[in-house]
Structure formats: structure tokens, C-alpha cells
Amino acid sequence: MQVANTAAVVTGGASGLGAATARALAGRGAHVHAFDLPASIDKAPEVEGVTYAAVDVTDAEQVAEAVDRAAADPNEPLRTVVNCAGIGPSARILSKRGVHDLALYANIVQINLIGSFNVLALASEKIAATDPLEHDARGVIINTASIAAYEGQVGQAAYASSKGGIVGLNLPAARDLAQYGIRVNTIAPGIVETPMLATVSEEIRAGLAAGVPFPQRLAKPEEYADLAMFLVDHDYLNGEVFRMDGALRMAPR
């Protein structure tokens, strides 16, 4: 699919997976609208071709306005959306501190799952209104799950629920949007070097890497971006979830 001279939306675009993907798309000539929270944008470097927008993905009005801006230039039709925004706090369903906080559970699902759906739905309306390309293709949406969707560990009930929802959303979304020439795919990363791991000690990081069959290291955000770009380019990949995990299968803890 054509990337140059088009618009793209990347959520969580100021850091981690989103920042790497925004750079990759901009490097291919797209005008990237990177949605993120103000605190993350304040720390993000300037990148040619990337415009940052302060957006809470759970806020339908904020997302609608930001998507409208991203799709406003007729010379840069919106073709690509990559949902990377997410959080991953851990808590057991029942622990010495009591029962899992319901508000925490709801917040994780709200950001990771409902936020992704919110952006997908609102952006798909704009993509559907663009002129079709070859074979009536109009665009592609890529969501981010996790291998925790399949092998959630102790303390990941909320996170695994939210990412399992992304996996469940993938195929019906692809089927719903097929009539508009919009493909939907999902990437399920393993353990990636992102800001979420920034506070983890080297010893713990080494232990995490040792659990990966091959290559025995943590994944890099740029590798996620490479896979996202492959999915953008390959017009026959649709309705699929792609694990990026070095053959890792998570143990219970």
C-alpha cells in the first residue's frame, strides 16, 4: 500500500513501540499524527514528518477531533492507523492486600481495549471516505495485543483480559471493514525494550531474555516497527494476529 504522501495515525506515538513506528512511517514519506498524553509528548524528540497531538484515546471527543485533523488534508489521505497506546500495571485477583481493585481493572481495559476500538472505529470512517487504490484498497489498521493474551502470568488478569480482547476484536473488525477496503491486523509482541521496562534491573532483564528460546534477548521497538511496515505493505495480509516473541511461551510467573 502507498505510504508516501499519505497521513498516518499512531497512538502512543511519543515513546516505545509507537515512537519507533512513527519514525518508520515518517521515513517512508507519511505525515504521521502521533497521539499521546501531554507528559509523554513533552519528553519526545522532534522527528521530521511527525506531528504530536495531545489525545486521550479513551476520550471519544478528543479522538474524533484529532482524527479529523489527521484526515483534513485531501492531498494526504489517511491510510494507516497503528494503535500502540497502552498500560500494564499488575495485580493479583486475590492477594494479602485484598481483592483486585475494580477501578484498576476497568482502567486497564478502558485504555488498552476500548481506547484501541475508539481509534479504530473513528479512523475507519475517515479512511473509508478516501479514494480507492488498486483492488479498491483504502487503508490498514494495526492493533497491538501481547502474548499475555494467550499466556497471561500471575498478576496479569487485567492486562491479559485487555489484550485478549484485542485478539478477539481482530477478525470481526477485518470482516466489518472489508467492504471499505480496510485491512485489520494485530501484532502480539513478547518482551520488548520499552519504557515499561526502564525501571527493571539488569539482573531481571537478563533473566527475562534468558527465557526467550531464540534470539535470546529482548525485542527492540524497531523490530515491532519493521513488522508493522511489512503489514502495511503486504496487501493480502488481513484478519491475522502475528506473534513477535522469539518463540517465547510465558510461564505462570
Which domain CATH number covers 149? 3.40.50.720
Residue 52 within any structural domain of the chain: yes
Q: Is residue 215 part of a domain?
A: no
Is 105 among the domain residues? Answer: yes
CA distances from 56 to 59, 143, 174 (A): 6, 16, 24
Residue 144 lies in a domain: yes
pTM of the entire predicted model: 0.96
Conformational region of residue 229, where left means phi above 0, alpha means psi within -120 to 50, and beta covers everything else: alpha
- Please state, in angstroms and rounded to a whole number, the distance separating the CA atoms of residues 212 and 228: 21
- Could you read off the pLDDT of 172-220 as tens digits, one per residue? 999 999 999 999 999 999 999 987 776 667 877 788 889 999 999 999 9
% the chain with pLDDT above 70: 98
Q: Is residue 211 part of a domain?
A: no
Domain count, the chain: 1
Helix (H, G, I), strand (E, B) or coil at 160: helix
Placement of cell 496479569 in the chain: 156
The per-residue pLDDT for range 8-54, each reduced to its tens digit, is 999 999 999 999 999 999 999 999 999 999 999 999 999 999 999 99
Question: In sequence order, what are the residues at sequence separation of 6 or more whose Cβ sits closer than 8 angstroms to the Cβ of residue 34?
Answer: 10, 13, 14, 18, 19, 22, 41, 44, 50, 51, 52, 53
Point out the residues that are catalytic: 159
User: What's the pLDDT at 199?
Assistant: 63
Domain presence at residue 119: yes
Domain membership of residue 22 (yes or no) is yes
**Distance in angstroms (rounded) separating the CA atoms of residues 77 and 132:** 10
Whether the pLDDT of residue 82 is over 70: the answer is yes
Parent domain of 107: 7-192+220-244
* Residues listed for the chain: 253
Comparing CA positions, the residue from 140, 142, 165, 143 lying closest to residue 152 is 165
**pLDDT at 145 > cutoff 80:** yes
